[in-house]
Amino acid sequence: MFLHYSWPEAILHIDGDAFFASVMQSVNPTLKDKPVVTGKERGIATAISYVAKKQGVKRGMTFSEIKKCCPDCLYIESDYDLFSLVSKRMFDIIRSYCPYVEEYSIDEGFADIKGLRRMYHRSYEEIALMIKETIETKLNLTVSVGLSVTKSLAKLASSFRKPSGFTPVRGKHIEYLLKNRPVQDIWGLGPNTAAYLRQFNIKTALDFTLLTQEFVSSHLSKPYLEIWQELRGKKVYELQTQNKTTYKSISNTETFAPPTKSKELLWAYLLEHVENAFEKARTYHYVVGSVSLFLKTQQFEYRQIDIPLSVKTGYPRLIRDELYKGFEKIYSPLYVYRTTGCIITNLGDTSSTQVSLFENQEKQNKTKKLYEVISAKEAIRFGSSLLIPKKKMVAKEKPITGIPFLSLQQMS
DNA sequence: TCTGGGGTCCTAGGACCC
DNA sequence: TCTGGGGTCCTAGGACCC
């Protein structure tokens, strides 16, 4: 039932082991072989070194919880610039062996090494090991590597042995890979689908893969049929070798402590998120067609409102009043809120901006200029953002220094 | 995993049209 | 004016990923 011709495709999945923690250890040798967690800035474990994992530390644990199971654990602040730099070096190394590389996330990627055996005079297994060892030597950290005939199988394979594992899975070995793996381990199959499948007594990846196509098509949606095919050795997913330059949506959210009822403060946070999201949109030359604001209560209930904009714009100051009306619809003084957020969608090209006949062109231009000027000074904030406690401001931002808030009336 | 922040894709169902 | 069938577009919400 599974493929028997060994390597119709040769796809690598390379996964950094406890990546953030390993990066910190690689630049600071005194941390090597110690229980280390990153996330000190938030007080919650983000990445956990293998020594700490062995002692029972899990993602999301607070430091007081960690102390109980791992008293000598070391807490490190995350350095995202450093993580990005090491990530880039990892992908540069992979690309130096093979041109078809997908940067799936900061710590994982795929490489299509099909056809490279002749060039290197090596088997696929040997090529995979060569890349793995180069990364580990040059970056002073470990990766786990899976080699198989589809992305889904390669990803499952890389998690078979960790850390620093190498797991090649050719056609005839697929069954061994899938046997005894819970369905939740399958990439793209989450807890909801796992619970659904359990009703049919489908518990392992092999159970799932041995289902008939009819069953999968009639009981599950399209992505699951694709996963089913991938696990049977039929390549469905291509590598995405182009780096991300486009977005369907951009979001900016924050959970704050302590939670609050204050309408003014919540509005200030929301404006902050709106500004951040729009700023990112502008750097990618987008104008925004729709803004969603949401509040999350202390009981984890969502209140969300979607606000379609009559004209796409890159400058939120122009739509402040519309946003406030939306905010008032979702805000209730009866709740305490823990999170605010903004998601902007319906993104369009800056060049395609339509200026409505009813919009004041001059006002638009003035706003644009204003943003250009203030943006250059890194202080593009609405006036009410001043309500947000200083320590909560994003690090790169400087305090607002006397730039007066201009209302739309004043500007036009 | 008692819960952070940033994304993507798919589907059902309503609105609208002929 | 009513009824019916069929197509397309859009959106809300769910599920999943790191």
Assess whether A117 and A29 both reside in one domain. no
pLDDT single digits (tens) A50-79: 999 999 898 888 888 898 889 999 999 888
Q: Please compute the mean of the pLDDT values over residues A296-322 and round it to a whole number.
A: 89
Question: Is A181 found in the same domain as A109?
Answer: yes
| Exposure class string for A335-365: b at 16+ Cβ within 10 A, else e | bebbbbbbbbbbbbeeeeeeeeeeeeeeebe
Q: Considering the domain boundaries, does residue A1 fall inside one?
A: no
Q: How many domains does the structure of chain A reveal?
A: 3
| Residue A154 shares a structural domain with residue A220 | yes
My answer on whether A406 and A257 are in the same domain is yes
Domain membership flag for residue A273: yes
Residue A381 inside a domain? The answer is: yes
CATH of the domain at A155: 3.30.70.270
pLDDT at A121: 98
- Of A81, A100, A119, the last residue of a domain is A81
Q: Pseudo-torsion of CA A184, A185, A186, A190, nearest 10°?
A: 30
* A391, A269: one domain: yes
Q: What phi and psi values does residue A308 have, to the nearest 5 degrees?
A: -75, 140
Split at pLDDT 50, 70, 90, the class of A411 is very low
Of residues A190 and A410, which shows the higher confidence score?
A190
A310 CB closer than 7 A to any strand C atom? no
Residue A98 counted as domain residue: yes
**Nearest nucleotide over every DNA/RNA strand to the A304 CA, judged by C1':** C12
A69 and A87 housed in the same domain: no
The reported pTM is: 0.83
Cβ burial A136-158 (10 Å sphere, 16+ → b, else e): eeebebbbbbbbbbbbbbbbbbb
Among residues A9, A108, A272, A275, the one annotated as catalytic is A108
What domain range is A66 assigned to?
19-81
pLDDT digit string, tens, across residues A92-134 = 999 999 999 999 999 999 999 999 999 999 999 999 999 999 9
Asked about A108 being catalytic, the answer comes back as: yes
